[in-house]
Amino acid sequence: MGLFITFEGPDGCGKTSIINLIKEYYKDNEKIIFTREPGGTKISEKIRELILSNDNVNMSPRTEALLYAASRAQHIDELVKPNLEKGNIVVSDRFVLSSLAYQGGGRKLGVENVKRINDFAINGVNPDVIIFFYVDPLTTLKRKSLNENADRLELSGDDFHSRVYDTYIELLEEMKDDKVLRKVDATKSMEEVFEDVKKIIDEKMEELLWRWLLQ
């Protein structure tokens, strides 16, 4: 099996900018597959359009949560699992933790309810590493205010994003002893955050190499 790395964090944490730098840095490594959620496959990208379109303001929270789970199931079956079975490294922009925070907390559906539908969707495929971009709420608000192309979720209001942030913090506290979780201080400069993330990925790639050698 390969290595499954997911990037997580609230809107405005700078995650996407760092992912673009990481993509460029590893562009010559054919074993690393970059993807995103919702999306990553043809079907999942179509579901992404439904979820994020500003035309769909009447979408109910339960519909939103189920669409995320459906997109994720297709993503797992078509892209993530096959690449892991080939020994590749899959790096995904968001995964289940986002649904727990955004739909479980932000949409008030309850973390456990959202976890149940996602357990079915991922069918036992869990990340080996979760890189969480930690920022304070004020920083996220400042960064979000600069986004002129906000999607439906990004436009859901400060109360929604405050609940998302609080839920993330609660989840991080529950996971504080979980070795899968790696937090990076996303309030630092982009160059510093990039170096911190690259170090984590390089460490996990080295562990994977040793695992292969010892088989």
- Domain assignment of residue 37, yes or no: yes
Write out the E strands in the chain.
Answer: 3-8, 32-36, 89-93, 129-134, 181-185
Residues 6+ apart with CB under 8 A from 159: none
Residue 215 included in any domain: no
Cβ count within 10 A of residue 188:
14
B/e letters for 61-82, b = 16+ CB within 10 Å, e = fewer, are eeebbebbbbbbbbbbbebbbe
Q: List pLDDT tens digits, range 30-51.
A: 999 999 999 999 999 999 999 9
Question: Mind listing the pLDDT tens digit for each residue in 183-199?
Answer: 999 999 999 999 999 99
Q: Exposure of 212 by Cβ count < 10 A (0-12 exposed, 13-18 middle, 19+ buried)?
A: exposed
Query: Is the peptide bond between 38 and the residue preceding it cis, with omega within 30 degrees of 0?
Result: yes
pLDDT > 70 in the chain, percent: 94
Residue 102 and residue 166 in contact, taking contact as beta carbons nearer than 8 Å: no
User: Does 159 reside within a domain?
Assistant: yes
- What's the mean pLDDT when you consider all of the chain? 92
Domain count, the chain: 1
- Under a CB-based contact definition with an 8 Å cutoff, are residues 107 and 69 in contact? no
- Considering the domain boundaries, does residue 150 fall inside one? yes
Q: Which two tokens stand for residue 165?
A: 């942030």
Q: For residue 170, tell me if it sits in a domain.
A: yes
Indicate if the pLDDT at residue 145 is higher than 60.
no
In a domain, 65, yes or no: yes
Q: Do the Cβ atoms of 83 and 90 come closer than 8 Å? A: yes
Please indicate, yes or no, if residue 39 is contained in any of the structural domains. Answer: yes
CATH number at residue 77: 3.40.50.300
Query: Residue 205: is its pLDDT beyond 80?
Result: yes
- Residues in Cβ contact with 48 at an 8 Å cutoff, skipping those fewer than 6 apart: 38, 39, 71
- pLDDT tens per residue, range 148-174: 677 777 777 788 989 999 999 999 999
The answer to whether residue 113 is domain-embedded is yes
pLDDT score of 91 more than 70 = yes
Q: Is the dihedral of CA 62, 67, 75, 143 positive or negative?
A: negative
- Residue 49 phi, psi (nearest 5): -60, -40
| CA–CA separation, 66 and 64 (whole Å) | 6
Which domain covers residue 171, as residue numbers? Answer: 3-210
Query: Is the separation of the CB atoms in 164 and 172 below 8 Å?
Result: no
